[in-house]
Structure 1
Amino acid sequence: MTGSLWQARPPRALVVFDVNIYLDVARILGPAATWDAFLELAVKHANEPLPHRRDAALDSLRALAISKSGKYEPGVKLEIWFGQHLDDTTYFKLIQDAGAADRVEDCGFGWAAKDADDFMELLVDPFWCEDDNFVSGDPIGYETPPLDHEDGCVYAIARDAGSENYSYERFCVTRDVDFRNAALKGDIEVMHPHEWVAHVRGKISNGNPMSRMIPKRVDAPSVA
Structure 2
Amino acid sequence: MKRLPLLLALGLLSVCGAAELSFDETLKEVHVPPDEKQVATDFVFENKTDKPVTIARYDSTCSCMSVQVKGGKLIYQPGEKGVLRANFDMGNFSGTVDKAVQLWLKGDPASDPSVKLTVRVHIPVIVNVEPKTLRWEVGAKPEPIVVSIVTDYEKPIHVLSAECGSDAFDIEVKTVENGKKYEMVVTPKTTETPSLGVIQITTDCPIPRHATQRAFALVRQPVPGEKK
Indicate the TM-score class for this superposition, using the shorter chain for normalisation: under 0.3
Structure with bigger gyration radius: 2
> Given the two structures, how large is their TM-score scaled by the length of structure 2?
0.20
> Given the two structures, how large is their TM-score scaled by the length of structure 1?
0.20
Name the one with the larger strand percent.
2
**Structure ranking higher on relative contact order (CA contacts 8 Å, 6+ apart):** 1
Name the one with the larger helix percent.
1
